Chains A and B, each alone.
Chain A
């Protein structure tokens, strides 16, 4: 009975994480994230993994991106890991309409288009365990390169199509996470907050979810995310996301 009460109290704490810390707006979007991953332990402390993902936006009516990534992670010491990864993203860039200097007349229109992005990242993760509660901090440098794409931007006045020029972007992502390992229970809840910093704060992602392990090899996760976009140049609206993932551990 007491154990049940404890679980319920902790579950309540994690459910509180479901509520984003900033107020949501009526025009917020909703989307889904689907991820499938496989992980293999190569050596002691060294794991490699590969994952595929698919995301939607526009209340799940529009495909947002496809991604394929590989990552290697090495445990330096008990509480510190380092990892590096590469992702190939096929991104459904959102429509953009830029205005002229008068801020009234439309200048250039870029309808939505699928375009490739290359992304690399290097992360350091530190964690401490307090009883069954784990607190971790991950600092990730992320570099994304978007190659030039021809004839995707329409100059309204000139009635001509122009290329969308190549672009690269550096981000420092800082994530703090709490997770709890219930004894004799296969569901492990977690909450985290992640800040995306360019030269300024670009977005904040709040997450809460639960992992379910089946026979140690199969890990399922159901996640709720709220993404508060501040100065993100992809002009994304704030979005609620539900993520479903599966990881197979060799």
Chain B
């Protein structure tokens, strides 16, 4: 009898060893949040981790302690007065699925996460973000620091634009789109209109990469840039059209007067283009098409830059580089109504000295106000 009991006890111990000891399951790694705006309210579904709080149509997603969940936030509906503010320690996906957000006193979307923001414009949808002309004081984060609010669509981390939908950004106070990291456009149609009360179309701190899609930027403010990039700029696809309408911006700070001219693209590091189409029109006084602190290397694609502005305050240039303009392929057209089409820093009066052509183009016209080279 005792033997049987011992045997049964051992057998039950063995058979009871069938429980999984995992601490996680797939639900720990996924968080699909849907936010639907409706005027001045918003409804949230799928917030199983309790990340989301709603105040009217101001929605805050707080994933500051989210170490595991791969988050996707989908926005739809219309917010007449609302916003989305996201703190997330991980990269995440934000799907715009036919959403319209207007925030009169701050960014429509503010991503405070320093990791990648994958912004997906859902197929067949048109999405609109807009702000007012002045922003209220910024909210403070968990550290007690006021957060940045640099654009209608602002991100501390990288932004990847993807999808086949359309995004309209109407900036009225600051930049249209800004990232304290870099911006990459993979696909989609992005229309950025920044009023004279605003600033740049896109502001990127660490790089601007256009690989596909349609990007249309129209900026009206004085001294505004279609794309202002503190680092490298690469265009390897897509169709980009930029119009700057403002004249020079004159500021006096500590008794020193500084003049800032508009530019279609202002790049503080190397500019390269290998494919795609780039069209820049600068309309204001002293405006520049491309203004680059390092080399401009044009290896392919089609680039047409026209500056129509006067030269009463600033010095307009179609394509300006502080170190060199090098053409190796594609179609290049630079035209300036009032000054040099190409300026590579040379003092020479000979237009040929203002750029470098590598290889043998099919045709070339090199003048002071017009440079057209086709490979």
Contacts and interface: CB of A to CB of B under 8 A. Distances in A.
B20 interface: yes
Contacts of B19: 58, 61-62
A61 B21 contact: yes
Q: Give the interface centre of B21, B26, B70 by most chain A CB atoms within 10 Å.
A: B21
B136 interface: no
A99 B89 CA distance: 13
Given A156-B70, A157-B70, A97 B16 contact: no
A38 B33 CA distance: 59
Interface stretch (A20-28, A40-48, A105-113, A172-180): A105-113
A244 interface: yes
Contacts of A54: 14
Interface residues of B, number: 21
A58 B20 CA distance: 9
A56 B21 contact: no
Contact of B24 (A61, A63, A95, A159): A95
A63 B10 contact: no
A111 B17 contact: no
B48 interface: no
B91 A244 contact: no
Contacts of B24: 95, 97, 109, 111
Q: Give the interface centre of A62, A99, A112 by most chain B CB atoms within 10 Å.
A: A62
B137 to A, nearest CB: 30
A106 B22 CA distance: 15
B257 interface: no
A61 B14 CA distance: 9
B5 interface: no
Interface string B85-112: 0000111000000000000000000000
B29 A61 contact: no
B67 A105 contact: yes
A32 interface: yes
A106 B67 contact: yes
Q: Which 4 A-B pairs have the closest CB atoms?
A: A58-B21, A56-B17, A61-B19, A95-B22
Interface of B: 10, 13-14, 16-26, 29, 67-68, 70, 89-91
